[in-house]
Amino acid sequence: MPTGILAALLFLGVAVPARSEEILVFAAASLTESLQELGRSFETATGNSVRFSFGASSDLARQIRAGAPADVFFSADTARMGELERDGHVSRGDRREFLSNSLVVIVPAASSFRMREPRDLLSLPRIALADPAAVPAGIYAKRWLEAEGLWEKLRDRVVPTLDVRAALAAVETEAAPAGIVYKTDARVSKGVRMVYEAAGKPEIVYSLARISDSRKKAAADFVRFLESREAAAVFKRYGFVLRVVD
């Protein structure tokens, strides 16, 4: 494990416990690779165990409301976390919102499609994106297309998918000629290429919190670790953007 990670954990007061704990982290699909890496570092340093359930933030939040035994939730938007806060599953003081991303248009790696402006999407017969009625990645994509005045013209061409990774897969397999996903998703795939980035439009804000019902010290420790400078370096390596929090 990198010495910086160990130093960060020691600085945060995260020590090897007398009895190890296992925590379950529900997290947006776009966080898969970065959190798996950070989870391994946390396990090595503390002796605790981290299990993940990745998927659409909307589905994960619904499972938590239904009683799923999650200890930590890392949502791709603030709305899903806000719903859990209103229902008493999350405390406002436990929320952390330091991570951002951007939307990109992707096509299969062998595609000849070129894109100079958002209106170029009108030449495509289908566009894959996470369900715009529920999934954060799809909601963000819809907002962007609405801001560009393109949603009404393209809505019948949208192929809604279960989550952002399913949209990525649809383009990788050429089931769809293009898709709108997070930049971090496009970067982990060799089967697609980015043809346009909607940087900062709209602002994408991830939200992290310990679930209030969890009494495991490791859950709070893991949240604190994810806020560390060393964890930030890992997120940045995967293409995420660190937000300036007032």
The domain limits of the chain are 3-99+206-242, 103-198
Read off the amino acid at residue 35.
L
Structure confidence by residue, pLDDT tens digits, 175-186: 999 999 999 999
pLDDT band for position 220 (cuts 50, 70, 90): very high
Whether residue 10 is predicted with pLDDT greater than 60 in this model: the reply is: no
Whether residue 19 is predicted with pLDDT greater than 90 in this model: the reply is: no
Question: Structure pTM?
Answer: 0.91
Q: Which has the closest alpha carbon to 192: 208, 209, 178?
A: 178
Which CATH code for domain 103-198? Answer: 3.40.190.10
Q: Which has the closest alpha carbon to 25: 57, 47, 66?
A: 57
Distance CA(237)–CA(226), nearest Å, equals 14
Percent of the chain with pLDDT over 70: 92
Distance CA(25)–CA(210), nearest Å, equals 9
Q: Which has the closest alpha carbon to 240: 55, 84, 102, 64?
A: 102
Answer with the residue of higher pLDDT: 163 or 200. 163
Structure confidence by residue, pLDDT tens digits, 107-136: 999 999 999 999 999 999 999 999 999 999
pLDDT band for position 12 (cuts 50, 70, 90): low
Arithmetic mean of pLDDT over the chain: 93
Structure confidence by residue, pLDDT tens digits, 191-200: 999 999 998 8
Whether residue 166 is predicted with pLDDT greater than 60 in this model: the reply is: yes
CATH of 3-99+206-242, one of 3.30.200.20, 3.30.365.10, 2.40.50.140, 3.40.190.10: 3.40.190.10
Q: What's residue 233's pLDDT?
A: 97
Tell me if 159 sits within 8 A of 127, measured CB to CB.
yes
The answer to whether 3-99+206-242 and 103-198 have equal CATH topology is: yes
Q: What's residue 9's pLDDT?
A: 59
pLDDT band for position 158 (cuts 50, 70, 90): very high
What are the distances in angstroms from CA 150 to CA 103, 134, 200, 236?
15, 19, 18, 31
Q: What's residue 80's pLDDT?
A: 97
